[in-house]
Structure 1
């Protein structure tokens, strides 16, 4: 606690633009790096098993592959962010590298893909249970089309925040992130990549639960 206060007084007394480095920042960064590394390793293992095992070449495993791929992208991006932020915290400096905004964009995009991947899984399970005779929906081509659609949606909406500079470097966190203020771009991005897929998952599983309960 005393070290933190001393650091804050030193920063203000020298009129430094460096953001305040709290005592819990560095352990949090290390924890984020470890979790990201675990996600990367597990995703690679799952993807490797799915690729080499022919028994996994099914439609449900296609949806699982989509989830693992999104987790891999998210894990790699968060890992690079964690390493970059940790370096800034250790050096007690603010440095915005050229890839800062790109990493923030990839995180928001990967989160959208990751959330939509669970939406597709829930929708597939619902159709299998309620409408098993509709084979078109269960086809590889149909599910692949849905996956491509979710990727397009997840990529487009966060990209609108880059030209408008809604994603910017924040000194306090030493990373680039979306500005927390009312904005059409931010609201649409949050709705399409977070609220929409999660709400659909809740609605689909609620419908599935009621269907199973009535059987």
Structure 2
């Protein structure tokens, strides 16, 4: 069946209501709620057990906070979509535009938070004597700088009305098309941080390999190998983001040739919601102090956690 869309531009269109809209909305809602709960639990454990004293754990707290904000965005926009689909109405308001802005901020902070973890591990291996770059002060400065940059970059998108209501997808996003804006956003919040993490990992593998060839103190080589294992875990986490974010990347590429499917964002955001849950589970798995502290709380034992991160 077709229904008339109510949109502010006073133009009309028709929208095909599909039977799979509501089940997908409910799946997205469940995934976003699980993600919010996991991120909130991780943050509470990190704060209550005072695991944030080391630089590495501060970076983990930053990632958990980013995931919490991203989960909140996904939940809010899913509620908006679900309400409109359920009532079969088609219109947007300021809330939808605001959520579109928050979405671009949240996904950028998420990806750059993992880049900061990779950079920190790289500094520990390649520049172990440069203590300032390993300090809480410098790493906190990097976190603040990333947040400021991620908050600022989508502002022009709002004031120039680049974020639009896409009636078929019931979402406010930048329409996918061959344009400088599409390429810039995809590069800024997705390609650059992820490719940078992979590049850092490759450079660290080569560096550790060269260290093993030369006469190197055993403790330094062991330390370098340990940090390499840590960044390998971050790369595996990024692999989840890349795999489940692949449909979105494919749709961006297809948009250059005007061949995107009709409900591109509905499809892409379903995978994004799933990825957030898997990423948080993976984050728990690679963060030993967090996992140990959480298990002790579940088992009802004392939560004095030995810090294993620098």
Superposed pair shares fold, TM > 0.5: yes
Superposition map of 1:50-199 within 5 A: 50-199=46-195
Please name the residue that 2:297 is paired with: none
**Normalising to structure 2: TM-score of the pair?**
0.63
Deviation at 1:17, TM superposition (A): 4.0
Unaligned runs of 5+ in 1: 1-6
The aligned counterpart of 2:200 is 204
Contact 1:105 1:159 in 2 (8 A): yes
What displacement does 1:140 show? 0.5
RMSD between aligned residues: 1.6
Deviation, structure 1 residue 106: 0.3
Rounded Cα–Cα distance in structure 2 between residues aligned with 1:88 and 1:181: 25
Segment of structure 1 superposing worse, 155-164 or 108-117: 155-164
Structure 1 Cα separation of the partners of residues 164 and 139 of structure 2? 35
User: Matches of 1:65 and 1:149 in 2, distance apart?
Assistant: 16
Q: Is the 8 A contact 1:161 1:186 kept in 2?
A: no
1:19 to partner: Cα distance: 2.3
TM superposition shift of 1:208 = 1.2
- Alignment check: 8 A CA contact 1:169 1:176 kept: yes
Residues 66 and 18 of structure 1: is their aligned pair in 2 closer, same or farther, counting only changes over 3 Å? farther
What is the DSSP-based 3-state SS (H/G/I as helix, E as strand, rest coil) of the residue aligned with 2:159?
A: coil
Does the CA contact (< 8 Å) of 1:154 and 1:192 recur in 2? no
Summarize the Cα distance change of 1:162–1:182 in structure 2 as closer, same or farther, 3 Å threshold: farther
Find the partner of 1:42 among 20, 38, 45: 38
- Are the counterparts in 2 of residues 37 and 79 from structure 1 also a CA contact under 8 Å? yes
Output the CA distance in 1 between the equivalents of 2:155 and 2:28.
Answer: 25
Q: How many residues align?
A: 204
Is 1:22 the counterpart of 2:39? The answer is no
Question: Is the aligned partner of 1:213 residue 2:209?
Answer: yes
Q: 2:27 aligns to what?
A: 31
Q: Which moved more, 1:108-117 or 1:17-26?
A: 17-26
Residue range with higher mean Cα deviation, 181-190 or 146-155: 181-190
User: Which ranges of structure 2 fall in alignment gaps of 5 or more residues?
Assistant: 5-11, 213-310
Question: Partners in 2 of 1:55 and 1:47 — Cα distance?
Answer: 10
CA contact (8 A) 2:51 2:57 kept: no
Asked if the contact 1:18–1:92 (Cα under 8 Å) also holds between the matched residues in 2, the reply is no
Contact 2:17 2:88 in 1 (8 A): yes
Q: TM-score, normalised by structure 1?
A: 0.89
